[in-house]
Each structure stands twice: as C-alpha cells, then as structure tokens.
Amino acid sequence: MAEFTMELSDEQKEVRDWLHGFAADVIRPAAAEWDEREETPWPVIQEAAKVGIYSLDFYAQQYFDSTGLGIPMAMEELFWGDAGIALSIVGTGLAAVGVLANGTEEQIGTWIPQMYGDANDVKVAAFCSSEPDAGSDVASMRTRAVYDEAKDEWVLNGTKTWATNGGIANVHVVVAVVDPDLGSKGHASFIVPPNTPGLSQGQKFKKHGIRASHTAEVVLDNVRVPGSCLLGGKEKLDARLARAREKAKKGGERVKNAAMATFEASRPAVGAMAVGTARAAYEVALEYAQTREQFGRPIIDNQGVAFQLADMRTSIDAARLLVWRASWMAINGKPFTAAEGSMSKLFASETAKKVTAQAIQILGGNGYTREYPVERMHRDSAIYTIFEGTSEIQRLVIARTLAGMPIR
C-alpha cells in the first residue's frame, strides 16, 4: 500500500507537465471554435491519439498508479485546457472501464481496441446507462434484454439518454434489465458491436456547456447481439441472479447497490475535472486583476477583489485535497466509510461553479463576453453538479452513509 503524500514523484511531475503542455498548446487554442461549432473535435482527438494520450495504455498506466493520483492529475490538466474537448478525449474511458470491470479477458481484448481505433482512424465508445425516467434512480430502468436461447442472442429494446458519444460511437456498452423482479440487482451490461441493426441515434442535445462533447439519446429497437456480448458471460450472470433471488426470498438485508458503489469509486475523477476548470478560471481572473487598472492602480489592490481571489484559491486547493484523499483510498482498497468519494465530487463541483462565477465578476463586463474564456468555463462548470450524481444525490449518499443507512 502506497503512503498518502501530497508530493508528486518526478515521474508524475513529468506526466503532469506533458499533459499541461498538450492542454495549453492543442486543447485551449481550439476551445472557443469547437464550443461554437458544438461538434466532436475529431482533429484534437486525433492529435491526442498521435501523442499517446487518447489510448487505453495511457489511462491504464494512470489508473494503476499505486498512489491513486494518476487519474485525478490527468483529469485536472486536460480539463484545465477545456472541459468540452477534454470530455471528448476521456469519454471513451467510461465504456472501457465498464468492459474492464465486468468483461472476460477475451471481451477486453476484443472490444477495447475497437473503442479507440488508432492514430490514423480514431474511434470513440459510449457507455449507455441513464434513461429518460431513470437517472439517479437506476432501479427504474426500463431498457430490456431478453435471451433468445435458440439463437444464443440477446434482444435489446429501450431508449438511453445523456450518452456521451451516443450514436456516433464505434462500440456501445448498454446497461439493461434482464430480471425486472430484482430491481437494480437484475441489470446486466452488453456490448453492441459496430453497425448493429436496430441501434440509432435519437435526439442530439444542444447543451448549455461542454458543447464540444457529443451527448445524445440512443434508441435500441430489437437490437440483437451475440450471447458472447453479455459482459462476464451468461454463467456468471445466472449465478449472480440466483444469489439475488435467494436473498430476496429470504427477505435478507438489502445490500449496497452495485451501480451506486461503482459511481462512488469513480466520483473523485469528476471532482478532478471540476478542479481543472476552477483552476483555469482562477488563473485568468488572477492575471486580469494584476494587469487591469482602475483609479490608477491594479484592481487586485482593492480588498474586495483580493479577498475573492484568496477564497477562490483556498477552495480549489481544498477540493484537490479531497479528490486526492478519495483517489488514494480507492486505489488502496480503503472503504469510503463517510462517502469520501461523494464528498470530493460534491465539494469540487460546487467549487467550480462558484469560482467560475467569481471569475466573471472580477472581469466585469469583459467576463460576460465570449472574448474571454471565463464565460465558457462558467457554462461548462454547471455539468459537474449534475452528471455522475447531482449535488443533491451526493448529499443524500453522504448523509445515509453517515447514518449507517443503505444507499439505494
């Protein structure tokens, strides 16, 4: 087990500086254009693939960093560049992690390379879980998967929403209900291979922020996938369902929802994204306050501005420490006895919204225009309090954990 430390190793610093250089030289100059276009920034993703950032190998190296700081460090630097473009670069990772967590070795080796493609022909993948009537309430999911034993195929029907890369992905990972009587315990995940008949893109959402990231509905109309596309395999699924049915029959104590537990472990990464956006806005505001003069002196000489910047920096550093603590705990198998994952995501996301709003205020009228990036950063920051569980859900998770109550 790695000791908790706030000092990055020389190797980690080298990776951080490399990512920061890519964010500064490639992502940030393209941010305003792709925000306006509201399209997937394929050229930027391709550049990330060429240098090795957009690849499973890179994210695996960061994920298995024994300090737990690889992923939050990477997320902070990329999202410092721009949230929309960064999400386009890291969005495939959601689907890849779904396969890594639940798939067999053969499934991992077959499908994850197809999610990324290569530097000359980049691909993306989509993780499809949320539905129009089932976001935080995963037990209300309606997308069904029915097994056709004669053909050894699963038939999927339903509509997914808020899917990053939905409809444009080469590979879709879809969570569906296989036993509705078991609630959230009756769910399973499936690979939908490229060009599978019946899968189509529904509504593409025109969003307030993160506009360079493609978000859409995914419609599944009698989508047939081979039995081999059930992540983990049918034998494993049948055994899990049998255990769940036995517990339900005995009226056993409710176990923690598996999906919620997964989200709890992944939430620090979202917190790191929020820290990156907040830090970017703070740096713009600090530079502006040092160079903008009013009444014959820089506006940072005014206590009202200086105190805002002091609070901004303090909140950003506090958010990063919460993210790092939760990330270290997760990689070292420490239980989140106080919902530390949700704490980090809650505080960091709320910090991003507040800091970006303060940055606009410090820039005044300039901050309200698209000539300066803080306007875009403020729009982008709103997503952090919504996806991977709203701030209200985070507070619920924390409160129920502290009270020793089941999270459902």
Active site amino acids: 388
216 in Cβ contact with 204 (< 8 Å): yes
Paired residues of 204 in beta bridges: 216
Q: How many whole angstroms separate alpha carbon 325 and alpha carbon 72? A: 11
Q: How many whole angstroms separate alpha carbon 43 and alpha carbon 52? A: 14
What are the helix (H) ranges across 117-233? none
User: What is the DSSP track for 169-187?
Assistant: -SEEEEEEES-GGGGGGGE
Tokens encoding 148: 């056709």
Rg of the Cα atoms in the chain: 22
Q: How many whole angstroms separate alpha carbon 95 and alpha carbon 83? A: 19
For the chain, give me the number of helices (H) and strands (E)? 14, 11
Q: How many whole angstroms separate alpha carbon 80 and alpha carbon 112? A: 27
Tokens encoding 212: 């360079």
248 in Cβ contact with 325 (< 8 Å): no
Helix (H, G, I), strand (E, B) or coil at 4: coil
Tokens encoding 26: 């490639």
C-alpha to C-alpha distances, 85 to 25, 30, 34, 205, 404, nearest whole angstrom: 13, 8, 8, 16, 39
- State in Å, rounded, how far the first CA of the chain is from the last one: 31
Q: How many whole angstroms separate alpha carbon 316 and alpha carbon 327? A: 16
From its phi and psi, is residue 38 left (phi > 0), alpha (psi between -120 and 50) or beta? left
